[in-house]
Structure 1
Amino acid sequence: MASHFNNAHHLQIDNYQSVNIINPSADSLGALQAQIAAGAIHDSRERCDAPKCHPETRVAVQDDLYGWIVDGDGESERPRDVKWVTGPAGTGKTAVMGSLADRCAANGVLGATFFFASWSASIGRRRKTSFVTTIAYQLARYREDLQTAISTAVEKNPDVFEKNLHVQMEALVLSPLRELVRQSDGPGLRGAIIIDGLDECEAEQYHDTTSTGARGKPVRTNAQDQLEILQVLRAASSDPSFPFRILIASRPERVFREFFDPKSNPTLFADKLDLNEDYNANADMTLFLEAQFNLLRRRYNLPHSWPPPNTIQTLVENASGQFIYAATVIRFLDAGHRESPKALLEAILKMGSKLNSNSNPLKQLDILYSNILESSPDPLLSIQWIRAVRWIGDTPEASAFSVTTLLQTDPESDEAEHLLGNLYSLIWIPPPSDQATSGYDFYHKSLFDYLDDPGRCESLYESARRLHTLQGPSYTS
């Protein structure tokens, strides 16, 4: 991303942590910065371990999207400035968007990003509140003249942070862009706004106090807040002064299917790209597994004959287009179990032999999750811990140390390692030296889709529910 700041209003933007306020412009940007979700930006510290496409994989889809950002639709009569990237859980949407954001940033065509995450301890990544302010803040970093226009907008609208998203988009983004178009003699703006995981945006927790119950029922649903963001982005894309192409990645939930349906929304000029239907992921997954097995062979001094013939082909077929399956298999083999990677791989391959070719595409992932969880010395208590970590993780102060201290029954025991030590392929556990400041993290939302669905989790779900009842309050979210 281009940087054109001068010394008169320098911002310390590394990790988005501090602002050197030495003039009114910087003062306004400092006020704006205080309202952003820093962890939602593509290169934030919170996303340092976020999934990215393995080199030489997903090349076609990335080239397609990047070409659209830079060159548009070619000879299309009406440019389509919005593209919806979709696909089921585990098809690699976030990895594609993350790698694409890096590529756009390196080439100076990245306007802004926002990566939602329902599992994040940062409330800003889970809700709409900081969406427009985070976009505006990044645009202010894009060019000096745009920075000045956005700073002026903040000065003129000091209460804008208390307004709804439509008002914020108009005041902080569209009005400054119009002003820039009127005044600028330089090259025009171009680039991309990349939004990932919009289906993971949770509703603001307003409640109807007239309803029964202590807090009443929520006034808004997740779908309503997601639709509000879609409508805000649509209004931006239709403004003649808005120069950016918008990419929105989400699962194919109903609110998105209806919004992007040309029949129900004929005035929206948008394209759809389905990672599951439009691109064959098998070749990319084969490259990924080949590279990872090479690393495992070197790391564990395994023979060149490992893995056995047709293993990669079998794993690719079992994945059914879900990159999360392949990634979880590799993490499981490399998690430092007492068993060797050879023995663990044999167990994984035996799981697949029990299924027929017409199985549910999620079945292999479910079986993999079940086997990993059952490798814990106490699977049901481990699930209790996972649910609790997810629930307590909603608070910013939820470091791994504080969560462990709260959950363990014996302060002298290493209960966390006992219960979670075999689950490193599902949950990221910070090293002991960082546990006072870093929290637990989960690799993919599909784990909770599995745990929350009795039809998929089956016996583990029912046993865990009974354990909830026996032990007291539930930690389910």
Structure 2
Amino acid sequence: MSVLPGATNTTIHNGIFNALSTTVANVGVQNDIVALLHSHSATAGLLDAKERFDAPKCDEGTRTSMILGMKNFVQDGDATSFPTLYWLHGPAGAGKSALAQSLSLELKSEGDHAASFFFSRTSAGRSNGNQLIVTLAYQLATNFPALQHFMLKVVKANPAILTASNSMQMQRLIIDPINKWQKRYQRSIRRWIHTTFNVNKKLHPRLILIDGLDECNDANVQRDLILCIGSAVRQLSLPLRFVIASRPESHILATFELDPTFQDLNGVTVTKKNLGEDEDADEQIMGFLLKEFAEIRRAHPFRDSLPQQWPLPSQIGQLVSKSSKGFIYPATVIRYIKMPSNRPDECLERILGLSEIPKYDKPYEPLDGLYRHIFESVPEINKASIHRIFHFLVLPSTWDGIITPQMIERHFHDRPGHVQHVLRDLYCLVAFTHDQSIKVLHASLPDFLLDQSRSGPLCIDLGDAHATIAASYLLRIRDSNALPMFEVNFLEHMMQANLSNTVIYNRIYKLDLIPVGGQPRDLFMASFSLETEH
């Protein structure tokens, strides 16, 4: 009898055994499909993984209507209803991951959590999209033991399935086992008992959730996974509910809107929800801030030194406005304000711009890190154009609040469609409204871009931004047959413009603009800088 049963390629060197096996049987000698799937899974991304011990979740009393609506999506329908797909998207920092975490936890407590995975670009073991399907299969095998027999047969017949393509894994490890079990159940006495005696026992959990799909390390894999999930929704015979949470990246948006999987006559229907349009967000952010400030007044080391009416309602209102319906901004500033070594009232004044932030303080770092990652992730070829475009977007609204792609394209002599093309990877920061104007989705984004200490090479010079917009007024004059009308906005921008900016300097000379007083153009331009000094 061999002392190393099942081992091949065995060597003994200096009394040390080295046994390498290439046989299938050794992988699952005990027929333990759960252990086998576990060994190929990315367990760091599981709902209860120790690596996610501090995962964000919705604060008590917030996002209540959203959570209820999504729970209804998962739990509605009987055992004969069809599988469905829900896409939760929204601006960066809107709170998608916290909502996904809270939804998963609530449904787990109610027995309706089948599987989930939480991607993270910065966390080891949570960014490889090619491990997702096996990880979901592992959880299904754990939470739905009846599937284990069918999964084991697949792996025994083809061990390479554990490293196969995502589409093959979805078909062989999830779709086929579920459908085969369902077919057997339909013919079983167990079903007859359930039907005859009207037993409403829940046969299986329903939710399969994938959070942060845009954090997966490859855009092509992200698209592939969406199509795999679409295929599962189309083929599965059980009413599983798939939920995908992600930023509205252009390739993800295009997959849902253009791929035949979702567009044909028999295409998969996707329920879509933009978290940035949550009507209750401002009220819930207000509630979050009030609760946090009450806790600071109760327990902070400097609580006895705080003014009696601190903070003022107007100050809280400013924070809500700056939040732009997302929780990352208020959570970031509260984190700074409540630090035990800081005076909360002084920190709030710094946040509101009433006093200078010390150089050693970095109150916005979590938010700044998110902004930097988003800008750095766009294709290199588009970065210069994006930086130019944001010269129009970092200042208060001009042209009665309407800044269109066409205006920017005329200013920079770009081809039609260029602005929308290069901004396609920033749909989590900007949006195109129904009248095709450009809207910045985060009130805190201009603050970031105008502050060199926060944005570094992404910084936009304030004077250059004013000069860019003022120069665009001059371009409108050149292209119009009407008499020049120097509006208040134009004069305000000229007063604050960096007049050494070559764009505006050249624009004035090309217009051959002679002031009414007859003074030379150099004096005309210098007059603005003199006014600015005063």
TM class by shorter-chain length? Answer: 0.5 to 0.7
Letter in 2 for 1:51: P
The answer to whether structure 1 residue 270 and structure 2 residue 270 are counterparts is yes
TM-score, structure 1 as length reference? 0.65
Deviations 1:125-174 (A, max 9, x none): 11212100110010011122123332333223211122100111111111
- 309, 315, 331: which is aligned to 1:311? 315
Are the equivalent residues in 2 in contact too, given 1:191–1:245 (CA < 8 A)? yes
User: What's 1:53 paired with?
Assistant: 58
Opposite residue 99 of structure 1, the aligned amino acid is: S
Contact 1:174–1:242 (CA<8 Å) still a contact in 2? no
Shift in Å at residue 306 of structure 1? 1.9
Given the alignment, which residue of 63, 68, 75 partners 2:73? 68
Question: Residue 140 of structure 1 contacts residue 148 of structure 1 at CA under 8 Å; is this kept in 2?
Answer: no
Residue in structure 1 matching 2:31, options 20, 25, 40: 25
Could you tell me which amino acid in structure 2 is paired with residue 56 of structure 1?
G
Contact 2:86 2:271 in 1 (8 A): yes
> Does structure 1 retain, via aligned residues, the 8 Å contact 2:212–2:245?
yes
Task: Give the letter for the 1:115 counterpart.
Answer: F
Shift of 1:342: 0.8
Give 1:141's aligned residue: 142
Residue 328 of structure 1 is matched in structure 2 by 332
Deviations 1:67-118 (A, max 9, x none): 1100159xxxx96700110100011100100000000100000110011111
* Structure 2 CA distance for aligned equivalents of residues 22 and 144 of structure 1: 17
The equivalent position to 1:227 in structure 2, one of 223, 226, 238, is: 223
Task: Give the match for residue 151 of structure 2.
Answer: 150
Aligned length: 343
- The 2-side partners of 1:346 and 1:194 are apart by 41
Q: Secondary structure at the match of 1:292?
A: helix
Alpha-carbon contact 1:193-1:245 (below 8 Å) kept: yes
Rate the CA distance shift 1:424–1:461 in 2: closer, same or farther, 3 A: closer
CA contact (8 A) 2:223 2:251 kept: yes
Gaps of 5+ in 2: 1-26, 192-201, 378-382, 391-447, 460-534
- Deviation, structure 1 residue 47: 1.2
Distance 2:28 2:320 in 1: 56
Evaluate the alpha carbon distance shift between residue 445 and residue 37 of structure 1 in structure 2; reply closer, same or farther with a 3 A threshold.
farther
Q: Give, as a single letter, the amino acid of the residue that structure 1 aligns with 2:374.
A: D
Structure 1 pair 57–347 and aligned structure 2 pair: CA distance change class (3 A): same
Superimposed CA distance per residue, residues 246-284 of structure 1 (whole angstroms, 9 cap, x where no aligned partner): 011111111222222279742121110111124331011
Question: Percent same amino acid among aligned pairs?
Answer: 29
Amino acid at match of 1:306: W
- 2:63·2:280 contact (CA, 8 Å) conserved in 1? no
- The aligned counterpart of 1:238 is 234
Q: Which residue of 1 aligns with 2:126?
A: 125
Q: Distance in 1 between matches of 2:161 and 2:279?
A: 42
Q: CA deviation at 1:23?
A: 6.5
Aligned positions of 1:77-476 closer than 5 A: 81-120=84-123, 122=124, 124-184=125-185, 185=190, 188-203=203-218, 222=219, 224-261=220-257, 265-266=262-263, 267-300=267-300, 301-302=303-304, 303=306, 305-337=309-341, 339-350=342-353, 375-377=358-360, 422-423=361-362, 426=365, 445-446=370-371, 448-449=373-374, 456-457=448-449, 459-460=452-453
Deviation at 1:175, TM superposition (A): 1.6
How far apart, in 2, do the equivalents of 1:262 and 1:79 lie? 23
Give the Cα separation in 1 of the matches to 2:209 and 2:215. Answer: 15
Q: More helix by proportion, 1 or 2?
A: 2
Which 5+ residue runs of structure 1 have no aligned equivalent?
A: 1-20, 204-221, 354-370, 378-421, 428-441, 467-477
Q: CA deviation at 1:242?
A: 4.1
Q: Is the 8 A contact 1:116 1:126 kept in 2?
A: yes
Distance 1:311 1:72, change over 3 A: farther
* Number of the residue aligned with 2:524: none
Name which structure has the greater RCO, CA cutoff 8 Å, separation 6+: 1
8 A Cα contact 2:97 2:211, kept in partner: yes
Partner of 2:47: 42
Change (3 A) 1:279 1:256: farther
